[in-house]
């Protein structure tokens, strides 16, 4: 029986059973038995018939169904098994159809999730390449335009030569900032930058950041303040250099994208037992719910950010996320359109 077609298998088994039954009937009819002896012969024949049918169906199931199931299970088992892991002999022979079905469904679901993840990664890769092109295109084309203008005679014109050189420098600095931020993210991702943990006062560090951004805040008529009066220092265990970068990026964002009139940035500290929760809140236009899951992506800008300010590299929040991850802490964002945005992150309390 080489064919595994269900109809042919059923027909073959039926013919075998019919042939066996016919043979027994013929033998009994020709034997001339009668009476009680004939009843005994039919009983023995029935037992033989039962045994024959049992073994023929068992052979069919074993040969053409269970072997195929075992082969499928063995293939899935080998695909799931980690490379170099020890093979458990006969592990798949003991599984029923139900358990094999469950294994197949679980394996299929896992592969489906892997495919979806690969698609998301591919989409992210395409967007990332497109964003890099977009971010670098503008300064490169600007530099090209300024240089060509200077080469075409503008270099000798005192009214424009210095101005165009300053614009060229500005575009070059923007490209340098993008490259440096990308390098920072890459180093954080590959753990080439190690956090130098030490105890320091986050309140004092935030006050230093306020002073650093004070001129920019006043220029944009934004107020920088604390959520409460903190008489005692707020001690944490972290890398002060990189936490300062986190605060600079978050507060600078609140200044750039906060409310244009009567804008306000509030930094608050909360004791969370073993951690300190730090919140940076502004009263700006807020972030749309659909944009919130993507705010930490590289180069991602909301529609509001596109229309309001493009002086940054678009990598600030991504760097913030990587720094907090490097501290084994968490950061999240909550926002309401027309009300404002809050970025909250934790640090280990000292």
* Residue 308 scores a pLDDT above 50: no
Residue 82 tokens, joined: 């980690």
* Residue 314 scores a pLDDT above 70: yes
The reported pLDDT for the residue numbered 237 is: 94
The reported pLDDT for the residue numbered 261 is: 79
> Rounded mean pLDDT of 279-302?
84
**Considering the chain, what is the average pLDDT of its residues?**
79
* Residue 342 scores a pLDDT above 70: yes
Higher pLDDT, 85 or 152: 152
What secondary structure does DSSP assign to 296-342, as a single string? Answer: TSTT---HHHHHH---S-S-HHHHHHHHHHHTT--EEEEEETTTEEE
CATH architecture for residues 125-189: Orthogonal Bundle (1.10)
Domain 198-349 adopts which CATH fold? Heat Shock Protein 90 (3.30.565)
> Rounded mean pLDDT of 32-49?
69
Whole-model pTM? 0.60
Torsion, Cα of 81, 86, 87, 89 (10° steps)? -150
**Residue 95: partners with Cβ closer than 8 Å, 6 or more residues away:** 73, 103
């Amino acid at each position: 029986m080489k064919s595994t077609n269900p109809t042919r298998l059923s027909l073959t088994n039926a013919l075998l059973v019919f042939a066996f039954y016919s043979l027994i009937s013929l033998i009994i009819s020709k034997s001339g038995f009668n009476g009680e002896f004939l009843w005994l012969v039919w009983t023995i024949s029935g037992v033989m018939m039962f045994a024959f049918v049992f073994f023929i169906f068992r052979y069919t199931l074993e040969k053409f169904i269970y072997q195929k199931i075992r082969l499928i299970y063995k293939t899935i088992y080998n695909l799931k098994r980690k490379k170099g892991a020890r093979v458990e002999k006969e592990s798949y022979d003991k599984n029923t159809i139900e358990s094999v079905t469950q294994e197949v469904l679980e394996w299929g679901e896992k592969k489906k999730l892997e495919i979806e993840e690969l698609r998301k990664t591919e989409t992210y890769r395409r967007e990332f390449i497109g964003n890099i092109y977009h971010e670098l295109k503008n300064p490169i084309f600007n530099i090209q335009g300024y240089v060509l203008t200077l080469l075409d005679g503008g270099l000798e014109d005192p009214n424009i030569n210095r101005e165009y050189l300053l614009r060229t420098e500005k575009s070059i600095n923007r490209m340098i900032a993008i490259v440096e931020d990308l390098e920072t993210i890459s180093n954080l991702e590959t753990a080439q930058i190690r956090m130098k943990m030490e105890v320091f006062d986050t309140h004092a560090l935030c006050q230093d950041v306020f002073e650093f951004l004070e001129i920019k805040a006043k220029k944009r008529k934004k107020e920088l303040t604390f959520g409460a009066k903190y008489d005692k220092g707020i001690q944490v265990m972290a890398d002060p250099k990189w936490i300062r970068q986190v605060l600079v990026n978050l507060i600078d964002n609140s200044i750039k994208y906060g409310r244009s009139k009567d804008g306000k940035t509030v930094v608050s500290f909360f004791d969370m037992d073993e951690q300190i929760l730090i919140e940076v809140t502004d009263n700006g236009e807020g972030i749309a719910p659909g944009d919130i899951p993507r705010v930490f992506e590289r180069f991602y800008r909301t529609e509001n950010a596109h229309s309001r300010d493009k002086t940054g590299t678009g990598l600030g929040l991504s760097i913030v996320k990587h720094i907090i991850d490097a501290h084994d802490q968490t950061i999240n964002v909550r926002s309401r359109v027309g009300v404002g945005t809050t970025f909250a992150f934790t640090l280990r309390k000292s």
